[in-house]
C-alpha cells in the first residue's frame, strides 16, 4: 500500500512545543513510522520552510518527508497559508508526475491539508481520509474569554471536509460527538482511533534519574516540582498554572515548590514575555523556571524531574503530554476537557479538574504535593495506564481503516454530500 499523507502547515520533523509544531507533529510522525514498519510506503507532504533541507528527506525505510515549495520559506504565518493552497497542490501534482508515483489513498491532517486532499482525491480518484486534530467550532466553544476566536472561513472549510471526506478519523468518542454536534457529520464516516505514546522513550525514572534530570535543568534536588510542557498560548492554559502557583504561595509563603514551564511561543498573539510578566506581577517569578521547547529525547528529563505535570488546556483532542508524563511515572493534574478524561484516569493516575480557576487548581495541586504516599502510588499506576496506549496499536487500527477505504468504489459520481451549516 502507498499512502500520501499531507501535513501542509507544519512539518512532522519540526521541533514540537513552539510555533505551529505540537502534538500533531508527534502524531503524524509516530503513526507514519509505525505504518512504515508494517510495510506501508508513506510519503508525508509538507510545505518547505528552508532550502537547506532538500526536497526529499528519508526518515527510514518506507517513510519519506517531501518538502513542497509554496510561498516564501520564512515569514509566512499559519493565517496566511490559505493563500498558498493552490501552489502547494500544484507542487504535489508536479512532484508526483515527475517521479511517476501513484498512491492508494490520501490521509490529510488539519483543515488546510484537508482542502488540498479534497482536490487531489477527486483528481486522482482515490479515497480521502481526514484527521482534523482540532476544530474551529470546538476551540471557539472552549476558548478562554480573552482568547481570539477561530475564523468563520476555517469553520466553513472544516464543514466541507466533514461533508466530503470518505473517512473522518478522530482520537476519541468525545471528538466524534463534537463532529456530529457542530458539523452534522455522518457517524458512518467516522472512525475512532486512540493515539499512543512512545513508551520506549518515555520510561519511569529512578531516584538517580530524577536527581540527574534536576541537576541538568538547574532545579533544586530537595523541592517539589510541577511542570508544564507545551506551546505557550492561551488555549494551552499556562497562565492557569502561573496563577495557581501564586495562590499556593499566598496560602503558604514557605512552601518548598518550583514550577517548570517548558515551551515556546505559538501564533501571532503569543508572546513568551507576557508569561514572564504575569509571574513577576504575581510575585512568583523566582519560583518559576522557563525552558525553551525541546525534542522528545530531552523532554524525558523534564517529565522525570517533575513530581506532577499540569495540563490546564481549554480543550485537547487527546492529551499527548499527559500520556507521555504518565509513561515516565509522573501523575497528572489536568482539565476535564476533550480527550483528557481518557488520557488521565481520575483519582488513579492523576486528577481531573472542572474549570480553570486559580483556587481550584491550587487545591488540586496541593492535594498531591502534600500527600507523598498518594502521589507516588498514582505515579506507579500511571505507568501501567500509559502502557495500554501505543503507536503500534494505533497504526494497526489505522491500517484497518485504510484497507476498508481502498474498497470504496471511486468510479461513482463523487460530488459533495449535503453541506449542512454553510
For residue range 244-278, list pLDDT tens digits in order: 999 999 999 999 999 999 998 765 556 889 999 99
Q: Is the pLDDT of residue 33 over 70?
A: yes
- Retrieve residue 46's grid coordinates: 509538507
pLDDT of residue 209: 82
Beta carbons within 8 Å of 392's beta carbon, 6+ residues apart: 34, 37, 196
Question: How many CB atoms are closer than 10 A to CB 56?
Answer: 12
Query: Model confidence at 321, in pLDDT bands (50, 70, 90)?
Result: very high
- Work out the burial of residue 191: count CB atoms within 10 Å of its CB; fewer than 13 is exposed, 13-18 middle, 19 or more buried: middle
Is 147 marked as a binding-site residue? no
* 10 assigned to a ligand binding site: no
For the chain, the distance separating the N- and C-terminal CA atoms, rounded to the nearest angstrom, is 36
10 Å Cβ neighbour count for 79? 11
pLDDT tens, 171-227?
999 999 999 999 999 999 999 999 988 988 999 977 788 889 899 888 999 999 999
142 known member of a binding site: no
In which residue are the cell numbers 520552510 written? 49
Handedness of CA 152, 175, 134, 67 (dihedral sign): negative
230 marked as binding residue: no
HSE value, Cβ hemisphere, 13 Å, CA-based, for 276: 10
Q: Is 236 annotated as a binding residue?
A: yes
Please give the grid coordinates belonging to residue 11: 512539518
The answer to whether the annotation marks 275 as part of a ligand binding site is: no
Report the pLDDT value the prediction gives residue 267, as an integer from 0 to 100.
59
pTM over 0.85: no
Cα 16 to Cα 293: distance, rounded to the nearest angstrom: 7
229 CB-near residues (< 8 Å, 6+ apart): 17, 262, 263, 299, 302, 303, 309, 321, 324, 325
Best CA proximity match to 225, nearest among 247, 199, 245, 206: 245
- Which domains are delineated in the chain? 2-196+391-405 (3.40.50.2000), 207-386 (3.40.50.2000)
CA-derived radius of gyration, the chain: 22
208 is in an annotated binding site: no
The answer to whether the annotation marks 154 as part of a ligand binding site is yes
Q: Is 231 assigned a ligand-binding role in the annotation? A: yes
What residues have CB less than 8 Å from 278, skipping those under 6 apart?
239, 242, 243
Q: 94 among the known binding-site residues?
A: no
Q: Is 21 annotated as a binding residue?
A: yes
Mean pLDDT on 151-175: 96
Per residue in 355-412, pLDDT (tens digit) is 999 999 999 999 999 999 999 999 999 999 999 999 999 999 999 999 999 999 887 6
Amino acid at each position: 500500500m502507498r499512502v500520501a499523507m499531507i501535513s501542509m502547515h507544519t512539518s512532522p520533523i519540526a521541533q514540537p512545543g513552539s510555533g505551529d509544531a505540537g502534538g500533531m507533529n508527534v502524531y503524524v510522525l509516530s503513526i507514519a513510522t509505525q505504518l512504515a514498519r508494517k510495510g506501508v510506503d508513506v510519503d508525508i507532504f509538507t510545505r518547505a520552510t528552508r532550502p537547506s533541507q532538500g526536497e526529499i528527506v528519508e526518515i527510514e525505510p518506507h517513510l519519506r518527508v517531501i518538502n513542497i515549495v509554496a510561498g516564501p520559506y520564512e515569514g509566512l504565518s499559519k493565517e496566511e497559508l490559505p493563500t498558498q493552497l493552490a501552489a502547494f497542490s500544484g507542487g504535489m501534482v508536479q512532484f508526483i508526475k515527475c517521479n511517476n508515483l501513484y498512491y492508494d489513498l490520501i490521509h490529510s491532517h488539519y483543515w488546510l491539508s484537508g482542502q488540498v486532499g479534497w482536490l487531489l482525491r477527486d483528481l486522482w480518484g482515490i479515497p480521502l481520509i481526514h484527521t482534523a486534530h482540532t476544530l474551529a467550532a470546538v476551540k471557539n466553544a472552549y476558548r478562554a474569554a480573552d482568547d481570539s476566536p477561530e475564523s468563520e472561513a476555517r469553520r466553513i472549510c472544516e464543514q466541507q471536509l466533514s461533508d466530503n471526506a470518505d473517512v473522518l478519523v478522530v482520537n476519541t468518542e468525545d471528538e466524534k460527538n463534537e463532529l456530529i454536534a457542530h458539523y452534522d457529520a455522518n457517524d458512518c464516516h467516522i472512525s475512532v482511533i486512540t493515539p499512543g505514546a512512545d513508551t520506549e522513550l518515555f520510561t519511569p525514572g529512578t531516584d538517580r534519574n530524577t536527581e540527574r534530570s534536576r541537576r541538568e535543568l538547574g532545579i533544586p534536588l530537595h523541592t517539589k516540582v510541577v511542570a508544564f510542557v507545551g506551546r505557550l498560548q492561551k488555549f494551552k492554559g499556562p497562565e492557569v498554572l502561573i496563577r495557581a502557583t501564586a495562590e499556593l504561595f499566598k496560602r503558604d509563603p514557605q512552601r518548598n515548590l518550583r514550577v517548570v514551564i517548558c515551551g515556546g511561543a505559538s501564533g501571532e498573539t503569543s508572546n513568551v514575555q507576557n508569561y514572564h510578566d504575569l509571574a513577576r506581577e504575581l510575585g512568583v517569578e523566582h519560583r518559576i523556571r522557563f525552558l525553551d521547547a525541546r525534542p522528545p529525547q530531552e523532554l524525558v528529563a523534564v517529565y522525570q524531574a517533575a513530581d506532577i505535570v499540569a495540563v490546564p488546556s481549554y480543550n485537547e483532542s487527546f492529551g499527548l503530554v499527559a500520556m507521555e508524563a504518565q509513561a515516565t511515572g509522573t501523575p497528572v493534574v489536568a482539565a476535564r476537557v476533550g480527550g483528557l478524561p481518557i488520557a488521565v484516569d481520575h483519582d488513579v493516575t492523576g486528577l481531573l479538574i472542572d474549570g480553570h480557576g486559580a483556587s481550584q487548581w491550587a487545591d488540586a495541586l496541593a492535594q498531591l504535593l502534600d500527600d507523598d504516599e498518594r502521589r507516588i502510588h498514582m505515579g506507579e499506576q500511571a505507568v501501567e495506564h500509559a502502557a495500554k496506549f501505543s503507536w503500534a496499536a494505533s497504526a494497526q487500527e489505522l491500517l484497518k481503516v485504510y484497507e476498508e477505504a481502498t474498497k470504496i468504489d471511486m468510479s461513482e459520481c463523487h460530488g459533495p454530500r449535503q453541506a449542512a451549516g454553510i
